[in-house]
Amino acid sequence: MKKVAFYTLGCKLNYSETSSISRMFEQRGYQKVAFNDTPDIFIVNTCSVTDNADKKCRKIVREAQAINPDGYVAIIGCYAQLKPQEISEIPGVDAVLGAAEKFRLIDLLDGFVKEPTQDKGKVYASPIEEAVEYHVSYSLNDRTRTFLKVQDGCDYPCAYCTIPLARGKSRSDTIQNVLKAAYEIAARGVKEIVLTGVNIGDFGLQDGHRNETFLQLIQALDEVEGIERFRISSIEPNLLTDEIIAFVAQSKRFVPHFHIPLQSGSNKILGLMRRRYRRELYVERVAKIKELMPNCCIGVDVIVGHPGETQEAFMETYQFLNELDISYLHVFTYSERPNTAALDIKPIVPQSQRAERSKMLHILSDKKRRAFYESQLGTVRTVLFEDEVVNGYMQGFTENYVRVTAQYDPLLINELKTLRLTQINADGLVEVEEVAVEGLIH
In this structure, are 24 and 35 located in the same domain?
Answer: yes
Last residue of a domain, one of 206, 232, 255: 255
Q: pLDDT at position 440, please?
A: 39
Last residue of a domain, one of 130, 148, 179: 130
Q: How far apart are CA 203 and CA 201, in angstroms?
A: 5
Into how many domains does the chain fold? 3
The residues facing 390 across adjacent strands are 393
Backbone conformation region of residue 146, classed left if phi is above 0, alpha if psi is from -120 to 50, else beta: beta
Helix (H, G, I), strand (E, B) or coil at 393: strand
In this structure, are 120 and 220 located in the same domain?
Answer: no
The residues facing 149 across adjacent strands are 196
Stretch 323-337: mean pLDDT, rounded? 96
pLDDT in tens, 303-324: 999 999 999 999 999 999 999 9
Is residue 39 domain-resident?
yes
Residue 211 neighbours by CB under 8 Å, 6+ apart: 174, 204, 205
Confidence of residue 442 (pLDDT cuts 50, 70, 90): very low
pTM assigned to the model: 0.92
Q: pLDDT at position 439, please?
A: 39
pLDDT in tens, 220-261: 999 999 999 999 999 999 999 999 999 999 999 999 999 999
In this structure, are 111 and 152 located in the same domain?
Answer: no
Stretch 423-442: mean pLDDT, rounded? 77
Q: How far apart are CA 205 and CA 198, in angstroms?
A: 13
Residues 317 and 265 sit within 8 Å (Cβ to Cβ): yes
Q: Among positive and negative, which fits the CA dihedral 361, 366, 371, 372?
A: positive
Residues 75 and 96 sit within 8 Å (Cβ to Cβ): yes
Is residue 211 domain-resident?
yes
Confidence of residue 19 (pLDDT cuts 50, 70, 90): very high
Q: pLDDT at position 441, please?
A: 39
Amino acid at 119: D
In this structure, are 9 and 120 located in the same domain?
Answer: yes
In this structure, are 50 and 163 located in the same domain?
Answer: no
Query: What element of type H or E holds 371?
Result: helix 351-376
Stretch 339-367: mean pLDDT, rounded? 97
Where does residue 115 rank: exposed (0-12), middle (13-18), buried (19+ CB within 10 A)? exposed
Q: Is the confidence at residue 302, as pLDDT, over 80?
A: yes
In this structure, are 110 and 184 located in the same domain?
Answer: no
Is residue 138 domain-resident?
yes
Which of 127, 167, 164 lies closest to 149, judged by CA? 167
In this structure, are 84 and 159 located in the same domain?
Answer: no
Q: Is the confidence at residue 50, as pLDDT, over 80?
A: no
Q: What are phi and psi of 362, to 5 degrees?
A: -65, -40
Is residue 231 domain-resident?
yes
Q: pLDDT at position 393, please?
A: 94
Residues 243 and 217 sit within 8 Å (Cβ to Cβ): no
In this structure, are 26 and 105 located in the same domain?
Answer: yes
What CATH number did the domain enclosing 148 receive? 3.30.750.210
Q: How far apart are CA 95 and CA 105, in angstroms?
A: 9
Residues 193 and 227 sit within 8 Å (Cβ to Cβ): yes
pLDDT in tens, 162-180: 999 999 999 999 999 999 9
Q: pLDDT at position 48, please?
A: 83
Q: Is the confidence at residue 437, as pLDDT, over 90?
A: no
Which strand ranges, in their side-by-side order, compose the sheet holding 297-304? 257-263, 297-304, 328-333
Exposure string for 219-251, b = 16+ CB within 10 A, e = fewer = bebbebeebbbbbbbbbbbebbbeebbebbeeb
CA distances from 311 to 7, 124, 316, 322, 440 (A): 39, 44, 9, 16, 57
- Across the chain, how many H-helices and E-strands are there? 13, 23
Last residue of a domain, one of 232, 255, 278: 255
Q: Is the confidence at residue 142, as pLDDT, over 90?
A: no
> Which of the residue ranges 119-133, 254-268, 316-330 would you say has the lowest mean pLDDT?
119-133
What CATH number did the domain enclosing 92 receive? 3.40.50.12160
Amino acid at 397: F
**Most confident listed range (76-80, 294-298, 412-416):** 294-298
Where does residue 17 rank: exposed (0-12), middle (13-18), buried (19+ CB within 10 A)? buried
Residue 107 neighbours by CB under 8 Å, 6+ apart: none
Q: pLDDT at position 110, please?
A: 87
Residue range(s) defining the domain that contains residue 65: 3-130
Is residue 278 domain-resident?
no
Which of 433, 406, 409 lies closest to 422, judged by CA? 433
In this structure, are 198 and 125 located in the same domain?
Answer: no
Is residue 38 domain-resident?
yes
Helix (H, G, I), strand (E, B) or coil at 37: coil
Residues 188 and 226 sit within 8 Å (Cβ to Cβ): no
* β pairing state of 430-434 and 440-441: unpaired
Helix (H, G, I), strand (E, B) or coil at 365: helix
Q: How far apart are CA 382 and CA 401, in angstroms?
A: 10
Query: What DSSP string runs through 49-61?
Result: SSS-HHHHHHHHH
Is residue 226 domain-resident?
yes
Is residue 76 domain-resident?
yes
Q: Among positive and negative, which fits the CA dihedral 45, 174, 253, 152?
A: positive
Residues 150 and 235 sit within 8 Å (Cβ to Cβ): no
Q: Among positive and negative, which fits the CA dihedral 419, 421, 423, 426?
A: positive
Confidence of residue 12 (pLDDT cuts 50, 70, 90): confident
Stretch 211-226: mean pLDDT, rounded? 97
Stretch 111-116: mean pLDDT, rounded? 88
In this structure, are 102 and 165 located in the same domain?
Answer: no
In this structure, are 124 and 173 located in the same domain?
Answer: no
DSSP state of 133: -
What CATH number did the domain enclosing 407 receive? 2.40.50
In this structure, are 116 and 189 located in the same domain?
Answer: no
CA distances from 286 to 171, 270, 280, 295, 442 (A): 28, 18, 10, 12, 33
